[in-house]
Chains A and B, each alone.
Chain A
């Protein structure tokens, strides 16, 4: 069992690290403070093929794998939580759904521009009344001739307004319950498809989080993604992959915070010596490091299972549950180790702590992950 990254994964990791440091890091504070979507970074990522990492070359992707994609999300998260979620929501959710469930024609038409980075993707499942209870979809889609007509709304959608292509879930047969949900591909600019105002959030503030509003929005019949009534499976299947991405984001946030804390404690002197010399500091750092490494291997393992074509639902849940916990814990400890400075925006860790919290909530709360894991144990 070889736990070292291959040469190509190592070089890719170095690429992501250099790119994130040079392009995303300098903007991170401003993006957070101004709640600004870092469009210029996203455009640069597109030009360097970073929006299509795991997708096949046939559809304009880079032909790499999930592990390479995970390394990318991780490296971005180390310096900017916002940029990493933009990448993750686009790749795992928006493009990921079409990659896994789309027809060849749909992939050619929609996956290709997503994979080349020409367009940005998003995924719209959550509704005001349907969060963890995702099956409680109220958005409706009715077939009218050659078109589906969508009515309803979605909230808390990442990349909303910035993305061009949306995978939207709606109830097509209420009587069937979970088996009455279907998935659709909707393009921005379609009449009847509007956006609500941008939410102001605790963290990942530069990520565009908005409501989607559908009022008699008509889309071609061909835009049904997967089979009618199979939408719930599309959602859950896609979210399994998304969870690996978020787990990578959480891992990166924790690592970024640890790096800041380590640099700080070596410099900061109190009582005549660097606080790194105090055992409490040392023990805190040891615990933080241990947690990060534990999370790391769950994340990489889930990615590798997906790449190997093995089942990865439980692996993804384990990874996300653990990494999100670790992110919240490690970032909070980093702030504490850095004391007053840790509370100041300029020192970054307070932002990482605010960014970390959402990893326990979106794409399946930690409670949902526990349901998945215990469900597998108690089968």
Chain B
């Protein structure tokens, strides 16, 4: 079985700070990590590899430095890695991104495609289902558990207040939730091999069979009109008193506000 996992290198948005003076994002020094939902997807693929001997390929669309996140995937146990990178692909929205990735994936042998549910920088959760649409394969989103049985994938599909057990014939695409599993650590040997023994195959514009009209900024139906930091609410009162005084203060406020 061939599994293709889409992964994205993202800034660790948990570590991003707002400049208190200018209200802008401080992007420097923010570590770049593998998107957590994608890592869960990769772990699911690696477990299937452990159980069934499947081949796991990872693919990422991004700038050259996304190479690091692909090496991390190799160090965790992926077999092959592909970096889809070109200035022509830059500025893509989810449509253009999914078209580009789907075109790249169509060059590969795949039975199961796994993407993370959403990236912590874009937070759209769209690329996975859109890739499935372009490839015209079924997609099952929000996978909490995955297993493969004789040419079919069976997924515990999460909803707000319930689950569905969903079965689809391969080839299919699933989107993984970080709740799906606890991803394994890389091994030191895996890291050394990822850099010294293995290759990351780089695919540029010419290598990806996608129409010009569907890539990059110009191929994106949506674009950013403007971005701005959130207005910082004016801080209220802050008190640093003893326990009794603090409690009385809160009681007074609750009465004032007719909560009590």
A interface, CB within 8 angstroms of B: 6-8, 11-12, 15, 18-19, 48-50, 52-53, 57, 61-64, 68, 72
A49 touches B189 (CB 8 A): yes
Known: A11-B68, A11-B71, A11-B75. A64 touches B185 (CB 8 A): no
Cross-chain contact of B192 among A52, A64, A72 (Cβ < 8 A): A64
New A-B pairs, 7, CB < 8 Å, besides A11-B68, A48-B185: A6-B195, A11-B195, A48-B184, A48-B186, A48-B187, A49-B188, A62-B192
Minimal beta-carbon separation of B160 from chain A (angstroms)? 30
The interface residues of chain A lying within 8 Å CB-to-CB of B75 are: 11
B interface, CB within 8 angstroms of A: 68, 71-72, 75, 184-196
The interface residues of chain B lying within 8 Å CB-to-CB of A11 are: 68, 71-72, 75, 186, 191, 194-195
- Some 24 contacts from A to B, beta carbons below 8 A apart, are A7-B68, A7-B195, A8-B195, A11-B68, A11-B75, A11-B191, A11-B194, A11-B195, A12-B188, A12-B191, A19-B185, A48-B184, A48-B187, A49-B187, A53-B189, A62-B188, A62-B189, A63-B189, A63-B192, A63-B193, A64-B188, A64-B189, A68-B188, A72-B188
Cross-chain contact of A15 among B68, B191, B196 (Cβ < 8 A): B191
The interface residues of chain B lying within 8 Å CB-to-CB of A12 are: 188, 191-192
The interface residues of chain B lying within 8 Å CB-to-CB of A68 are: 188, 192
Nearest residue (CB) in B for A57 is B189
A61 touches B189 (CB 8 A): yes
With A and B bound together, what is the CA distance between A50 and B189 in angstroms? 9
With A and B bound together, what is the CA distance between A48 and B76 in angstroms? 10
The interface residues of chain A lying within 8 Å CB-to-CB of B190 are: 49
The interface residues of chain B lying within 8 Å CB-to-CB of A50 are: 187-188
Minimal beta-carbon separation of B200 from chain A (angstroms)? 12
B189 touches A15 (CB 8 A): no
Minimal beta-carbon separation of A248 from chain B (angstroms)? 15
Nearest residue (CB) in A for B193 is A63
B195 touches A15 (CB 8 A): no
Minimal beta-carbon separation of A320 from chain B (angstroms)? 23
With A and B bound together, what is the CA distance between A18 and B185 in angstroms? 9
B192 touches A15 (CB 8 A): no
Minimal beta-carbon separation of B34 from chain A (angstroms)? 12
A8 touches B194 (CB 8 A): yes
With A and B bound together, what is the CA distance between A125 and B38 in angstroms? 49
With A and B bound together, what is the CA distance between A12 and B194 in angstroms? 11
With A and B bound together, what is the CA distance between A12 and B68 in angstroms? 12
Minimal beta-carbon separation of B260 from chain A (angstroms)? 35
With A and B bound together, what is the CA distance between A72 and B188 in angstroms? 9
B186 touches A15 (CB 8 A): yes
Minimal beta-carbon separation of B257 from chain A (angstroms)? 33
The interface residues of chain A lying within 8 Å CB-to-CB of B192 are: 8, 12, 62-64, 68
The 3 closest A-B pairs by CB, nearest first: A62-B189, A49-B187, A8-B195
Nearest residue (CB) in B for A61 is B189
With A and B bound together, what is the CA distance between A277 and B68 in angstroms? 39
Minimal beta-carbon separation of A29 from chain B (angstroms)? 23
Minimal beta-carbon separation of B178 from chain A (angstroms)? 15
Nearest residue (CB) in B for A19 is B185
The interface residues of chain B lying within 8 Å CB-to-CB of A53 are: 188-189
The interface residues of chain B lying within 8 Å CB-to-CB of A57 are: 189
Most chain B C-beta atoms within 10 Å of own C-beta, residue among A6, A11, A48, A49 = A11
With A and B bound together, what is the CA distance between A27 and B13 in angstroms? 27
With A and B bound together, what is the CA distance between A7 and B191 in angstroms? 9
The interface residues of chain B lying within 8 Å CB-to-CB of A63 are: 189, 192-193
Nearest residue (CB) in A for B71 is A11
With A and B bound together, what is the CA distance between A149 and B47 in angstroms? 48
The interface residues of chain A lying within 8 Å CB-to-CB of B185 are: 15, 18-19, 48
Minimal beta-carbon separation of B222 from chain A (angstroms)? 35
The interface residues of chain B lying within 8 Å CB-to-CB of A19 are: 185
With A and B bound together, what is the CA distance between A19 and B68 in angstroms? 19
With A and B bound together, what is the CA distance between A52 and B68 in angstroms? 24
The interface residues of chain B lying within 8 Å CB-to-CB of A61 are: 189
Most chain A C-beta atoms within 10 Å of own C-beta, residue among B185, B186, B196 = B185
With A and B bound together, what is the CA distance between A52 and B188 in angstroms? 9
The interface residues of chain A lying within 8 Å CB-to-CB of B193 are: 63
Minimal beta-carbon separation of B197 from chain A (angstroms)? 9
With A and B bound together, what is the CA distance between A63 and B189 in angstroms? 6
The interface residues of chain A lying within 8 Å CB-to-CB of B186 are: 11, 15, 48
Nearest residue (CB) in B for A69 is B188
With A and B bound together, what is the CA distance between A18 and B72 in angstroms? 14
With A and B bound together, what is the CA distance between A301 and B196 in angstroms? 22
The interface residues of chain A lying within 8 Å CB-to-CB of B72 are: 11
Minimal beta-carbon separation of A19 from chain B (angstroms)? 6
With A and B bound together, what is the CA distance between A6 and B187 in angstroms? 16
Nearest residue (CB) in B for A22 is B185
The interface residues of chain B lying within 8 Å CB-to-CB of A49 are: 187-190
With A and B bound together, what is the CA distance between A68 and B196 in angstroms? 14
With A and B bound together, what is the CA distance between A216 and B153 in angstroms? 61
The interface residues of chain A lying within 8 Å CB-to-CB of B195 are: 6-8, 11
With A and B bound together, what is the CA distance between A52 and B191 in angstroms? 14
The interface residues of chain B lying within 8 Å CB-to-CB of A72 are: 188
With A and B bound together, what is the CA distance between A311 and B221 in angstroms? 64
With A and B bound together, what is the CA distance between A373 and B194 in angstroms? 39
With A and B bound together, what is the CA distance between A50 and B187 in angstroms? 7
With A and B bound together, what is the CA distance between A61 and B186 in angstroms? 14
With A and B bound together, what is the CA distance between A64 and B184 in angstroms? 19
With A and B bound together, what is the CA distance between A52 and B71 in angstroms? 21
